[in-house]
Structure 1
Amino acid sequence: MATSSGVGSGGALDQERVQAFLERVITDSGAAVAGLCTSLGDRLGLYTAMAGAGPLTSAQLAARTGLVERYVREWLAAQVAGEYVSYAPDTDTYLLPAEHAAVLADPELPTYAAGFFTAMQALYATEDALMEAFRTGEGVGWEEHSTALFAGTAKFFRPGYAAALVPEWLAALEGVREKLERGARVADVGCGYGYSTTLMARAFPRSQFHGFDFHRPSIEAARGIADEEGLADRVSFEVATAQDYPGEDFDLITFFDCLHDTGDPGGALHHAEEALADGGTCMVVEPNASANAQENAHPVGRALTAASVAVCLPSALAQHGPRALGNHAGEETMREIADEAGLHHWRLAAESPLNRVYAVGR
């Protein structure tokens, strides 16, 4: 048992509290390692193969996926330990409950969350670069990460966008759906792989959609996705920053979980103000996190603020702009930046556990 050294506290330690916190850290360390297994299960199609299949032996799952049984059996043991998969010792079979499959196996469901673990591969790989950034104040650019971050981020956000973007978020913007149905011009700034762009384009075939992102590999991926979906007649993608993308008279300009990643969010909103058509609207989608650190002490807040340390703040600092926000600057700060950019009308239009959606205009 640890001694009551009083380290860091100026007095005797409460050993029960020490033990409780130690157990929490051990739990977190287990989750961190298990995340690799979750990513493997997603990328190798193991969860998909188990979904709806009923009880399977490790050999049956290996046969369904074309993988080596010994590795599959080891992976299943980790899944049982994490209570992602159940095990029946009498038949030596494993079962992925339907409720778990809804989170791990079907990218078309709004509850799908396995994409997060793909992105995590990239974050651990840049730890040394982050350490240096902490010492120098420099950034770690988005482009310095591996493809796993770009693909994983798109994969993680897509189900939520698919569930809410058209039926809820756009519907909450006054007059916007009507414009899109008639035919409107839309700029999707920081579009990444373009899932947000193509979701809107499928729903509103009379409108024209232009996706912009400074990251060329993401734009190339977006073009491929749009071509596969047969949307090239009304969707285009171009490499450009949030401060210099071309075009004007846009009826709608969107920022999906990206404004806080720019080194100059004020410049981005000022450019949007100049590019808006009369009566046009900006839709700013930001993480649902508070500027008050104590209010983020819950699972979503913890994930968001940790992502800000690993990706959002370093990406913004790498652009050497005037202001690096992080992903929890809060509504008041964002509203002030918009107002300074000439966008004086600001309204919370919709909200989910992960996002807050703002309607912004002149």
Structure 2
Amino acid sequence: MNLLCRNLSQSRAQPKSAHRTLTKDLVDRILGDIGGAVSVPLVRIGDALGLYRTLKEIGPVKAHELADATGCAPRYVREWLVAQAASGYVHHQKGLFSLTPEQAFVFAEPDSPVNLIGAFDTAAAMVGNQPKVQSAFRTGEGVAWGDQAGCMFCAVARLFRPGYVNALVQEWLPALDGVIAKLKSGATVADVGCGHGVSTVLMAQAFPNSRFTGYDFHLGSVAAAKAHAEAHGLANVQFEVGLAQDFDGSDFDLITCFDCLHDMGDPKAAASHIRKALKDGGTWMVVEPIAGDTLEENINPVGRLYYSASTMICVPTSLAQETGLALGAQAGERRLTEVIRSGGFTHIRRVAESSLNMVLEAT
């Protein structure tokens, strides 16, 4: 009888113990997430005040030395540094602070393929966007791109810029069938949904014999894109206000859409218009966030980032437009292919991918 009671007691205790372990694991994970969340303003301060850049240049240093070099108050810099060291964003040893090559790659080198400052800017904008999106949860309405909180457009442009700088000309365009030869000899190109024109300017710089037109429906972004092109002294690029489903121009050799098809209210109408605007034998390059076709395939760090951004940015933006199809940032290749095919394209293939993007070719 005593043995039976002991066994029953153990069987009851085991689930409780397992429950406590699972709860602890969850709490530990959430504490890590909160630590990352409260690091957002600190990272942005470090970027804005040149703390990361200077630390890379003169480290290892003491806190007051970094403060002197950046013109900041020593007490604030000291607290910032220890917070960064606790996060693993800054290296600390024997009272001296520095950036490892890996940390510099993420925080202090703008053209690094893994520079993630733009992700922190986007996270901050998402927090600012909460009241508008929270209200939209009740009404089912959208939040227009131009009504997003803060400079969402600046943050998103900065988030995707490292990927474009390191892969667009070097890998993505060469993966398209016959496109590089056309660009070198002189092609007409439309960059639809160009935003601040990062992608458009990169292509225009690489292929001076071709002519590029960037289209975007947001006036502020078009103005920023024009300023961007002027700063680089480019004569083979222009920017116009236009919607994806009715922008001006025709007989394009290449049309590109960078991380914007899923944001459109009516991407099927856009696909149809793009097909008509292409020359015979022309190519549509669609760059979209990397994703699998099922939720299970997207339960990973990148999927987590994109699903969250989609909830706060992409879905509200789409729902504020026309039919509001709201594909979402994790639509996946199968769903995107259906949308592209609806426009009259018959050949669609994935030609390249990175940790954040997939590249589809449609002809």
Q: TM-score range by the shorter chain?
A: over 0.9
Provide the residue aligned with 1:87 in structure 2. Answer: 92
Alpha-carbon separation, structure 2, partners of 1:68 and 1:221: 33
Secondary structure class of the residue paired with 2:60? coil
Please, which of 46, 59, 64 is the counterpart of residue 54 of structure 1?
59
Superposed, 1:198-209 pairs within 5 Å as 198-209=201-212
Q: Aligned to 1:270, which of 269, 272, 275?
A: 272
Q: Is the 8 A contact 2:291 2:333 kept in 1?
A: no
3-state SS of the aligned residue for 1:357? Answer: strand
- Deviation string, structure 1 residues 304-323 (Cα, Å, up to 9, x no partner): 11111111111101114251
Q: Partner amino acid for 2:261?
A: L
Unpaired runs of 5+ residues, structure 2, are 1-14
Per-residue deviation, residues 71-127 of structure 1 (Å, max 9, x unmatched): 1111111101101112234xx321111221011101122221111111222110111
Counterpart contact for 2:111–2:166, Cα < 8 Å: no
Superposed CA offset, 1:45-90 (max 9, x none) = 111111132211111111221222221111111101101112234x
Match of 2:226 among 213, 223, 228: 223
Map 1:249-268 → 2, pairs under 5 A:
249-268=251-270
**Range with greater deviation from structure 2 (46-55 or 351-360):** 46-55
Query: What's 1:5 paired with?
Result: none
Mapped partners of 2:135, 2:59: distance in 1: 49
Give the TM-score taking structure 2 as reference length: 0.93
Q: What is the correspondence of 1:86-235 to structure 2 with a 5 Å cutoff? A: 86-89=91-94, 92-231=95-234, 233-235=235-237
Aligned residues of 1:120 and 1:149 also touching (Cα < 8 A): no
User: Gaps spanning 5+ residues in structure 1: where?
Assistant: 1-10
CA 1:322 to 1:30, structure 2 compared with 1: closer, same or farther past 3 Å? closer
Residue aligning to 1:75: 80
- Render the CA deviation track for 1:256-314: whole Å, top value 9, x for unaligned: 00000001010111110010011100000011112311111211111111111111111
1:315 maps to amino acid: T
Structure 1 contact 113–156 (Cα < 8 Å) conserved? yes
**Distance (Å, rounded) in 2 between the aligned partners of 1:357 and 1:62:** 44
Corresponding letter in the other structure for 2:65: Q
Once the 2 structures are TM-superposed, how far is the Cα of residue 16 of structure 1 from its aligned partner? 1.2
| Bigger mean CA offset, 322-331 vs 257-266 | 322-331
Q: Percent identical across equivalent pairs?
A: 47
Does the 8 A contact of 2:171 with 2:352 survive in 1?
A: yes
Q: Is the contact made by 1:256 and 1:284 (CA closer than 8 Å) also made in structure 2?
A: yes
Amino acid at match of 2:129: T
Q: Distance in 1 between matches of 2:201 and 2:263?
A: 22
Match in the other structure for 1:305: 307
The alignment's C-alpha RMSD in Å is 1.4
TM-score of the superposition, structure 1-length normalised?
Answer: 0.93
- Partners of 1:180 and 1:40 in 2: CA distance: 41
Corresponding residue number in structure 2 for 1:337: 339
The one-letter amino acid paired with 2:209 is R
Q: Which amino acid aligns with 2:232?
A: E
CA contact (8 A) 1:129 1:140 kept: yes
CA distance in 2, matches of 1:107, 1:165: 16
Structure holding more helix per residue? 2
The answer as to whether partners of 2:303 and 2:330 remain within 8 angstroms in 1 is: no
When the two structures are aligned, how many residues end up with a matched partner? 348
Residue 151 of structure 2: SS of its match in structure 1?
helix
Deviating beyond 3 angstroms after TM superposition, the runs of 4 or more aligned structure 1 residues are none
Whole-angstrom CA distance in 2 between matches of 1:147 and 1:322: 23
CA radius of gyration, larger in: 2
2:245 to 243, 246, 254: 243
- Which of 66, 75, 83 aligns to 2:71? It is 66
